[in-house]
Amino acid sequence: MKRFFLLGLISLATTLLYAQKDQIFNVYNPLITGVPSLTIAPDAIGGGMGDVGIASNPTLASQYWNSSKYAMMESTGGLTLSYTPWLRKIVSDVDLAYLAGYYNLGEQVGTLSASLRYFSLGNIALRDAYNKNIGQAKPYEMSFDLGYSRKLAENFSMGVVLRFVASDLSTKQEGYYTGIGFGADVNGYYSLPIEMATGTSKLGLGFNISNIGTKISYDKGATSNFMPTNLGVGASYLYPFDKYNRIALNVDFNKLMVPSRRSKYAENYDASNPDTWLMSADQYNKIGLVKGIFTSFSDAPQGFKEELQEINFSTGLEYAYNEQFFIRAGYHGEHENKGNRKFFSAGAGFKWTAFRLDVGYLLSVAQNNPLDQTLRFTLSFDMDGLKELTD
């Protein structure tokens, strides 16, 4: 009887121990960055496929996904404009506007590209301690960038983007300033055509290291946040059923390369006590860009298993008829401890000579996605198509 009692106590203690470990491990610990709007997919094509675009078919919005794809575009140049409303169930003046374009100077010279994005946070009424109206604030986040891409081989291209970032979250408080930052992207794209009985299929592989740059500070360096430096890799496969019908399957994986404020490198870190995971503001501010990138792969309080939780994945499918009519669907997944952005998406598009219109729709699985049930729109203009029309 005593043996059974002892075994029962051991079993109970083991169960409680694992339950405690599991409870500690399931602590909500997302990565916090400055200028988070830089991570919002701006266009309806990638957005309609679960936010994929690193290795998918090149589009006019490739400046955001992977600028090296511009070097593989068949047209001489083009321009695209996208609009994404934000929190439409709550407010009517928060939105993201995105303008991008490129021009191919020649295969031996390369391709120039540029984009401008503006994220408006609407109008905010300001009041003092006595609830008296003292005016309005119009916070925003914006970026402007220039890119260059070039074919380095028949099936491989690389690109680089230089970016200027401004973030004004002003509430007219003394000692508060507009955050200014500079960043860069480095990316590559491999596209291999494969001849088949039904036509030419295509395998695509790509990577994009984006927003490598300075920190963002709103108080002249007293405190600061890292920009959302991100490592993304992707693959795609385009399969033609016949001369007119084809599908393309795409998958992307992304990981933010920024250090965590709740980290195992905190001064008084104790793995069994989440209250000790938080870095002090001074300790966090002293971390530089290069150190932050490398430590981001090993600073999760719960080790390698938690590092894997920081990897987001997206997968999307696109069907096209005669490269004029498009139907899309996709899914995006993020671990619940790292933000819990989980959603399905769908989209459609129509192309006529020089013009193309695409729409995307997002349906969130989790309840905290501000884009839930939101339509986004993209209008594109092809330079070669415009020449044909004028001729």
Per-residue pLDDT tens digits for 124-176: 776 666 666 666 778 899 999 999 999 999 999 999 999 999 998 776 566 67
Per-residue pLDDT for 344 more than 60?
yes
Q: pLDDT-derived band of residue 236, with 50, 70 and 90 as boundaries?
A: very high
Compute the distance between CA of residue 176 and CA of residue 167 in angstroms, rounded to an integer.
Answer: 12
- Mean pLDDT on 109-114: 96
**How buried is 318 (Cβ within 10 angstroms: 0-12 exposed, 13-18 middle, 19+ buried)?**
buried
- The amino acid sitting at 227 is M
Query: CB-hemisphere CA count at 13 Å for 234?
Result: 35
The CATH architecture to which 2-390 belongs is Beta Barrel (2.40)
For the whole prediction, is pTM greater than 0.85? yes
Counting DSSP H helices and E strands in the chain, the numbers are 7, 16
Tokens representing 387? 């020449």
Q: Output the pLDDT for position 7.
A: 38
The whole-chain average pLDDT of the chain stands at 87
Longest CA–CA separation in the chain, Å: 97
Answer for the pair 361, 369: CB distance below 8 angstroms, yes or no. Answer: no
Structure tokens of 185?
């992207």
Q: DSSP strand E in 8-132: where?
A: 77-85, 95-106, 110-120, 124-127
